[in-house]
Structure 1
Amino acid sequence: MRRIWYGMGMVLVLLGLFLPAADCLAARHAPRAETAADTGPRGKILFIPQDNRPTSGMQAAEVVRHLGYEVVMPDRDMLGGLGKDGDTEALWNWTQENARQADMAVIAADSLIYGGLVSSRKHEIPADVLRERADRLRQLHQVHPFLKLYAFVSLMRTPRSGEASGGEDPDYYISYGEKIFRYTGLMDKAEETGLQPDEQQEAAGLEQDIPAEVRKDWLERRRRNLEVTKQLMNFVREGSMDYLLVGKDDNASLSQTHRESRWLKKYGQDIPPDRFRMTAGIDEFALLLLTRAVNQRERRVPEVAVCYNEGKGGDTVPTYSDERLADTVKTDLEVAGARLQGEPSQADLILLVNTNPDGMTGEANHVREWEAAPLNNGQDRSGTAPFLQLLHSYLQTGKPVAVADVAFTNGADNALMRHLEREGMLFQLQAYSGWNTATNSIGFALGQGILACRMKRDAADALLMTRYLDDWGYQSNVRTTMAIRIEQMDDPQIYLYLGGYEQAFAEEASQLLVRFARLHLPRLERPDRLSVTFPWHRLFIAEIGLSGEDSGAERPKNEQEGRDER
């Protein structure tokens, strides 16, 4: 595990990084349509997440529920997790039962076929069983031909190393992951441009270094998964599925994932782009497809203007991706059923993408002075002032603004958030996202921003509060403080699996988040009721809830202070 920080002195710096802000300034809000919450649901959506994590499941569903839709989800016990396979038979039975009353279905095929996202990387399921499970989606269409069916599936990832795999891949990846990544990257390059003599020699050496049984297991599972994905693409061809989205999970420009994506692109070149897409990412797909389902039901095509920070901007190729941000944004807009608008004044929503001018995407927990990477220590960087200027200029137009905060991976930009807090702009935004990878953040900001334009102000603010608690409070600050605690214990594996320390760490994380909320999110009622738990028994995946409730952040105070409903 990479060492995160040094020095216990940084603990106090983290939690006292910003001065408590004054009361938020009164915000300008454009008029918005009322939701249908008071007149019954606008429609019923059957939703199967890819696993039991809160962000890709419950939090995605909450966005659509705030718009007035009924979203039904299976019990979390049926879903997969880090060390738990989902119950594919129970999920299929649940799907058949609940599809009868649903208007739309957004389904993670990984859950129905493999038992979840992580299970798709480790399974030992025979090919014929996989084909039978995949065929259930075609059967679903046959039985319910008027059910709009939107599905997404992951293309197996290729982590850069065993450390980067985080225990979510076969055990041998810890020892051979770095070599597997390099070897398959060379195979990818060999097919695209050919290898130089020294690269050919390196590839031959790596093939010898990686045990034959490891290579066979790794590539054979991928081959089976690839055939399943082609089967799903065939369902789209024959009209048994309305839309299929394939995600290149934790990807790189030269890797086995990128290699397979080229094969699938060729295989699906005859499928219309309004029926099939493949793009970087995976965890944001649920919300993007929920947004698409809503837009198509309401026969809307929102227009979104996109503006990047100065410097490389849209040409940034972020960590865990093999494509430019501008390409990801373009595809995500199409997936969500929206359209790119070149003139911001004509747009329904303006998406601002916070990038570093040099195109680097650092880690949200990074503050080490001796490494050449952006530091997330709350101090202004070269891109801070120009992005704030961009944000000010668009907020002044009165147009709804969403922020995709991707200057850092796996958390919010502390410098940006410090300014948003001090200048009272936190709740002037339409939507915000800064969690996990850059592609995850962009997709979530887009989906939430598009739908929040049709919500009441208090609903949009409740969703913002969830993101601020998770992406800013926990991921960029509390989690880093906890990582320092782990470093002192001289056992870095605790970061990946908390084991017997989980309860104590959950209590400490809860206390730190309560303190953070009191300092930086005074609009939150009863911050003392906040709690942090770890559904995957690891520090990176946290669920933020309220005492006595299952999950979700508390709604902010309904302060008027000059705030009109949108």
Structure 2
Amino acid sequence: MAINQYHQRNNGNDTIKIKQHYTKKILLIPLDSRPPCGKFVIDAGRLVNIKVIVPPTKIMDYYTKAGKPEKLCVWLQTNAAAYDGVIISIDQMLYGGLLASRRPGPVSKDFGESSLWHTLESLHKENPQLPIYAFNILPRLTPPPNIDSPREIKNIMEYSRLVDKWEIYRRIDDFNKLQRLKKHITDKNLRQYLLLFDKNLLLNKHLIMLSQKNIITRLIIGQDDGEKYGIPNKERRELQAYINRNKLADKVMITHGADEVAMSLLFNVIQEDKGYRPKVFVAYNDENTPKIILPYMAAAIKDTVQDKLNLAGARQVSSEQQADFILYLHIGTTKNLSTRQYSAEKIEKWLAAGENVAVVDLSQHFRADETVLPLLIAKGTAINNLIAYDGWNTASNSIGTAIAQASLYTLAQRNIVTEQQAHTLIFNNLTILYDHFFEDYFYLKGTIDAVNNSLRHAGISNVNDLNMNNNYKWANLMLNNSLQKQLADFSVSKSVQTPIEIRTKTGSEKIKLTNMQVNAFFPWPRTFEIYTDVKFTLNRAN
């Protein structure tokens, strides 16, 4: 079915107005209520005309307040029959969100594991043709929040690392350290920590069994914040062996990351219909970049890239010419600052040649001067032609999001016939791009420090627990004032104003962005992330 679009003359400009036409709709129970887990997936769905519906806010989590599993269950069972598929966060369905899953004990007296199994089995029985995609997250290395003694936290984390090292290397020195360290950890706290992993292991094995029975179409097990060594890695290896023994590698995958998993599954949903396996050329800013292990990661960059390519069913190719898109990873450190210019030139060259380029722009120290985007802007590079840009949170978050968005984009691109379809794809992709420009670069590489410093100078030491009636409002005001100032320069830069050239079977044209606005707020009473809403107009360039 054709996409309904029209344009009109407005003050001498040919303004393009877009009306989305959906061809598929799915239900999503997000990991939690933050934008990456819900909004990112909704926006990405528009690239391939999928309408993503999430539960009502009143039954979802809100920061430390857990969601309502029993009501989420009713919502899912009531609506599923009218949809083309479902993506379910087990952490939300069972515990009421990611943060709630880290706490000891059940969240709901009315909904436990037996209720979850019954829900999934009934959902499949009543809707046998409905694809059910599910994901669950391994406990992270850090102890649960009710263990709040800094010394206890430090000792438990070191104990976790030593347990993993002992299992891998069997060094007597590690064993002796374990025994000595155990004497300095409260028995109750250590039992609670270990029980989280024991319970999660059994939970994941049951989910894998449901995949074996074809109740779950595809299952992804994510690994949240980790390190090179730790009990989470031990559980990951045990689960991988279990998957391999049951010959389920095509239905169950383990991946680094958490927040981006639903977006990866969104691509899997449409991929099943289209049979599309993207061909990807991977390039790095430095020969040492693939070996870097960034903070909160249990794997090197190269391994994380391969992990996310596998999740997308993508094939890595040896040249740009063979690829559906180029995945370029600029991982900035104090040792490779000289590669920023090289990265900017490579990206500019590819974009000028009309290549599809997705950029992952990460900094070892979360600093702007280790990233490549400011150089691209200074050079006037046509960043509107990027098909993805990501530089938020952990390496797995950014790499996974970039690959999922680029895969969705290139899949949609293959099916474009008319100028109107091209407009819709460009508009939707730019919406995602600019949300990331403003959060990943302008906010996370600058504004966040200014906001946090102002709050701390005013005596607000905990920026992760803001008072909703006072300093939360002040923080939002500082956030928007900062972004508006940066928008004033950014929106008139050559990078933003350079027209985008669109070629279809019916001809070619150039379009540009005008009337850009950005609104942002903190979705939770903390400054860790923001909700961004960037608006703009597309105009035919004169």
Once the 2 structures are TM-superposed, how far is the Cα of residue 228 of structure 1 from its aligned partner?
A: 0.9
Pairing 1:383–2:355 present: no
Unaligned runs of 5+ in 1: 1-35, 160-164, 361-372, 375-379, 545-551
Pairing 1:520–2:453 present: no
Once the 2 structures are TM-superposed, how far is the Cα of residue 216 of structure 1 from its aligned partner?
A: 1.3
Residues in 1 aligned to 2:444 and 2:26: alpha-carbon distance in whole angstroms = 30
The answer to whether the Cα contact below 8 Å between 1:50 and 1:80 also exists between their aligned partners in 2 is: no
Q: Map Cα deviations across residues 142-178 of structure 1 (whole Å, 9 max, x no partner).
A: 221111111111000013xxxxx8xx73343655222
Pairing 1:146–2:129 present: yes
Residues in 2 aligned to 1:418 and 1:389: alpha-carbon distance in whole angstroms = 13
More displaced 10-residue stretch of structure 1: 130-139 or 344-353: 130-139
Pair 325,312 (structure 1): closer, same or farther in 2 beyond 3 Å = same
Pairing 1:558–2:532 present: no
1:190: which partner in 2? 166
* Amino acid corresponding to residue 208 of structure 2 in structure 1: M
Once the 2 structures are TM-superposed, how far is the Cα of residue 62 of structure 1 from its aligned partner?
A: 0.8
2:418: which partner in 1? none
Q: Map Cα deviations across residues 49-98 of structure 1 (whole Å, 9 max, x no partner).
A: 10000122112211112431121111122222321111101111111112
Residues in 2 aligned to 1:191 and 1:534: alpha-carbon distance in whole angstroms = 42
Once the 2 structures are TM-superposed, how far is the Cα of residue 102 of structure 1 from its aligned partner?
A: 1.1
Structure 2 residue matching 1:553: 3-state secondary structure: strand
The one of 432, 435, 454 equivalent to 2:392 is: 435
1:87: which partner in 2? 68
Identity of paired residues, percent? Answer: 25
The answer to whether the Cα contact below 8 Å between 1:158 and 1:250 also exists between their aligned partners in 2 is: yes
Name the structure with the higher strand share: 2
The answer to whether the Cα contact below 8 Å between 2:295 and 2:364 also exists between their aligned partners in 1 is: no
Unaligned runs of 5+ in 2: 1-17, 414-424, 497-512
2:508: which partner in 1? none
1:445: which partner in 2? 402
Residues in 2 aligned to 1:195 and 1:330: alpha-carbon distance in whole angstroms = 30
Structure 2 residue matching 1:558: 3-state secondary structure: strand
Residues in 2 aligned to 1:210 and 1:473: alpha-carbon distance in whole angstroms = 42
The answer to whether the Cα contact below 8 Å between 1:237 and 1:271 also exists between their aligned partners in 2 is: no
Number of equivalences: 488
Residues 362-441 of structure 1: matches in 2 within 5 Å?
381-408=337-364, 415-422=371-378, 423-441=380-398
Pairing 1:46–2:21 present: no
Once the 2 structures are TM-superposed, how far is the Cα of residue 490 of structure 1 from its aligned partner?
A: 5.1
The one of 533, 540, 546 equivalent to 2:521 is: 533
More displaced 10-residue stretch of structure 1: 209-218 or 171-180: 171-180
Pair 412,440 (structure 1): closer, same or farther in 2 beyond 3 Å = farther
The one of 101, 121, 141 equivalent to 1:158 is: 141
2:464: which partner in 1? 496
1:368: which partner in 2? none
1:253: which partner in 2? 228
Pairing 1:120–2:101 present: yes
Residues in 2 aligned to 1:125 and 1:175: alpha-carbon distance in whole angstroms = 27
2:452: which partner in 1? 483
* Amino acid corresponding to residue 447 of structure 1 in structure 2: A
Pair 414,186 (structure 1): closer, same or farther in 2 beyond 3 Å = closer
Residues in 1 aligned to 2:118 and 2:319: alpha-carbon distance in whole angstroms = 44
Pair 169,297 (structure 1): closer, same or farther in 2 beyond 3 Å = farther
The answer to whether the Cα contact below 8 Å between 2:42 and 2:51 also exists between their aligned partners in 1 is: no
Residues in 1 aligned to 2:354 and 2:435: alpha-carbon distance in whole angstroms = 23
Residues in 2 aligned to 1:71 and 1:397: alpha-carbon distance in whole angstroms = 34
Superposition RMSD in Å: 2.4
Q: Map Cα deviations across residues 106-162 of structure 1 (whole Å, 9 max, x no partner).
A: 111111111111111114129993243244223322221111111111000013xxx
Structure 1 residue matching 2:82: 3-state secondary structure: coil
Higher relative contact order, structure no. (Cα contacts within 8 Å, ≥ 6 residues apart): 1
The answer to whether the Cα contact below 8 Å between 2:363 and 2:370 also exists between their aligned partners in 1 is: no
2:436: which partner in 1? 467
Once the 2 structures are TM-superposed, how far is the Cα of residue 272 of structure 1 from its aligned partner?
A: 3.0
* Amino acid corresponding to residue 501 of structure 1 in structure 2: N
The answer to whether the Cα contact below 8 Å between 2:211 and 2:252 also exists between their aligned partners in 1 is: yes
How does the TM-score come out when normalised to structure 2?
0.84
The answer to whether the Cα contact below 8 Å between 2:409 and 2:429 also exists between their aligned partners in 1 is: yes
* Amino acid corresponding to residue 507 of structure 1 in structure 2: L
* Amino acid corresponding to residue 315 of structure 1 in structure 2: K
The one of 307, 310, 319 equivalent to 1:331 is: 307
